[in-house]
Amino acid sequence: MSDSSTMRPSIPVFVAFLLILAPLGSLVAIGQTPAPQAITRPPIVGVAHIGLRTDDMVAARKFYTGLLGFQEPFSLNKPDGNLMLTYFKINDHQYIEVFPELKDPNQDRLSHISFETTDAEELRAYLASKGVKVPAKLPSRLDGNLGFDVTDPEGHDVEFMQYIPGSLHEKQFGKYLPDSRISQHMIHVGFTVQDREAEDHFYRDILGFKQFWHGGMTDNKTDWVDMRVPEGTDWLEYMLNVHDPTPRTLGVMHHMALGTPNVDTSYKELLKRGLKGSEPPKIGRDGKWQLNLYDPNLTRVELMEPKPVQKPCCSPMEQ
């Protein structure tokens, strides 16, 4: 009988032989554990909608349809048949949602803001990997789209949604887009921020929003910070230095901005439609023409031209 050590390679030689023959992925079989792959953030492409509360749906319709010219393509009802919310369409991907749930004159008119993503499930998983509290799975939605809500560090309800074929929204693509619309694009939404550092960590560090301008009532003070979505042109505006606001002040701060190529032309059209009591257009601190309107429940609707006509205050405005 021959010595077995002369019949087979030694253990080190055998392992080396396997390493030569085995593909890289098979290293797990001999005790190697691959590092977990990081979940990537899917694109966030723009503002999808703003959700507002009202105590007078008739007045809200008169403002958003009669004055601003947006049509109401669909609505959703509660199980008891009462209205849950209705939609005013700006374009195929942007809406104003209005909820008849304002019960107290001191209640915040802002329900939530919403951003569009190309992959809601991947974004949910990505945020979970960053320690953000998210639903365990995507909840079912009455509108047929995919989406979920989170609470940002300031307590604001922030929704991310993905449009899905067959949803209420997708079925109306190309429809309910009359020439009467005072604007064809919601360019930003804004809300109050007390802790800018915490908000920056959420919107900038985790979600990838990018600051492109900041300004204030004076040149040496920052009252507003504009944070652009990572894969689009729309932005979120921090409204800083707001303390114990009245409902009127909160309505000014919790606002939306609608883009228009010419504010003066829009203003003259609104006057023809019956606008009363509004201040005339003015150039804001960002150097852009703007016109402030207010819906029946005091929420500010800002009409704004896309480009400055004079140098913005306080900081350069990145393109």
Phi and psi at 9, nearest 5°, equal -70, 160
In this prediction, residue 32 has a pLDDT band, given cuts at 50, 70 and 90, of low
Q: Has residue 2 got a pLDDT over 60? A: no
Task: Give the position of tokens 């804004």.
Answer: 190
In this prediction, residue 33 has a pLDDT band, given cuts at 50, 70 and 90, of low
Please say whether the beta carbons of 212 and 228 come within 8 A.
yes
User: In order of start, what are the domains of the chain with their CATH numbers?
Assistant: 44-304 (3.10.180.10)
User: Which class for 232: exposed (0-12), middle (13-18), buried (19 or more C-beta within 10 A)?
Assistant: middle
Q: Has residue 12 got a pLDDT over 70? A: no
pLDDT of amino acid 38: 87
- Which helix (DSSP H) or strand (DSSP E) does residue 86 occupy? strand 83-91
pLDDT of amino acid 8: 43
Q: Where are the alpha helices (DSSP H) in 52-205?
A: 57-61, 120-129, 168-171, 196-200
What lies within 8 Å, CB to CB, of 283 at 6+ separation is 289, 290, 309, 310
pLDDT of amino acid 37: 77
**Top-confidence residue, 8 or 219:** 219
Q: Which residues pair with 186 in a beta bridge?
A: 258
Is-above-0.95 flag for pTM?
no
